[in-house]
Amino acid sequence: MKNNIAVLIDGDNIPSAYVEEMMEEIAKYGNPTIKRIYGDWTRPGLSKWKNLLLENAIIPIQQYGYTRGKNATDSAMIIDAMDILYSGKVDGFCLVSSDSDFTRLATRLREAGMNVIGIGEKKTPNPFIVACDRFIYIEILKKQTEEKIETKEPSVDKITKKELDLISATINDLSDEDGWAFLGDVGSLIQQKRPNFDSRNYGFQKLTPLIKSTGKFDIEQRENQKNNNKLIYVRIKKKVPSRKKK
pLDDT digits (tens, 9 = 90+) for 168-186: 999 999 999 999 999 999 9
Question: How far from 130 is each of 117, 123, 183, 225, CA to CA, in Å?
Answer: 11, 14, 22, 36
- 4-148 shares its CATH topology with 161-236: no
161-236 belongs to CATH 3.30.420.610: yes
Q: What's phi and psi for 134, nearest 5 deg?
A: -145, 140
Domain chopping of the chain, boundaries? 4-148, 161-236
pLDDT (0 to 100) of residue 91:
94
Do residues 199 and 210 lie in contact, with contact meaning Cβ atoms separated by under 8 Å? yes
Is 145 a residue whose pLDDT tops 60? no
Q: Which of 51-65, 144-158, 192-206 has the lowest mean pLDDT?
A: 144-158
* pLDDT, mean of residues 202-222: 91
The model carries a pTM of 0.81
* H/E element, 50: helix 47-55
Q: pLDDT tens for residues 13-41?
A: 888 888 888 999 999 899 999 999 998 88
d(CA 180, CA 172): 9
d(CA 158, CA 160): 6
Confidence of residue 68 (pLDDT cuts 50, 70, 90): low
Confidence of residue 147 (pLDDT cuts 50, 70, 90): low
pLDDT (0 to 100) of residue 18:
84
Write the class of the CATH domain 4-148.
Answer: alpha beta
**Helix, strand or coil for residue 14?**
coil
Beta bridge partners of 120: 137
Is 214 a residue whose pLDDT tops 80? yes
pLDDT (0 to 100) of residue 146:
54
Task: Tell me the helices (H) and strands (E) count for the chain, helix number first.
Answer: 9, 9
**Helix, strand or coil for residue 13?**
coil
% pLDDT > 90, the chain: 55
* H/E element, 209: helix 207-214
Is 151 a residue whose pLDDT tops 50? no
pLDDT (0 to 100) of residue 41:
83
Average pLDDT over the chain, rounded to an integer: 86
Is 148 a residue whose pLDDT tops 80? no
